[in-house]
Amino acid sequence: MKTTRRNLLRWFATPLFALILAAPSLAVDPPYQRQMERLAEVMGSLYYLQPLCKAGTEDWRAQMAELISLDDPDEDRRQRLAGAFNSGYTAFSRFHRQCTPASREALSRLLQEAQRLARDIHTRFAE
């Protein structure tokens, strides 16, 4: 009976152990990932609103590309950051076809939020 159990255990344990070793390890997000995704979303919104309201010449898309490059994320995080940027752009493009007082107010608030997020991420997590 002991031999049968031992053989049965080996029969199940060996493939299970091999599967565990072969499974890709999941990367752990850095502690600032949520703030980075929100910053990316805000920057996408600014990328849409700023030219709509002719409120500056900042290239938010280039800024986002530089931020991603500096952070050097893995492919999964890179895709999430790009997705957040695109979501921010899309969210405002659905409802703002021309610059209105509400668009200007949103632009002002988003600029403030972007500054706050960038400052917080830098202060808390920069080397």
**Average confidence (pLDDT) over 30-55:** 95
CA 64 to each of CA 30, 81, 100: distance values in angstroms, whole numbers, following the listed order: 18, 9, 26
Weakest mean pLDDT among 2-16, 20-34, 56-70, 107-121: 2-16
**Are the beta carbons of 90 and 98 closer than 8 angstroms?**
no
The one-letter amino acid code at 44 reads G
CA 69 remoteness from chain centre: 13
Is the pLDDT reported for residue 15 higher than 80?
Answer: no
Residue 11 to residue 15: CA distance in whole angstroms: 7
pLDDT in tens, 85-124: 999 999 999 999 999 999 999 999 999 999 999 999 989 8
DSSP state of 106: H
Q: Tokens for 107?
A: 């632009």
pLDDT in tens, 47-93: 999 999 998 889 999 999 999 999 899 999 999 999 999 999 999 99
Closest CA to 68 of 51, 53, 86: 86
Question: What global pTM score does this model have?
Answer: 0.77
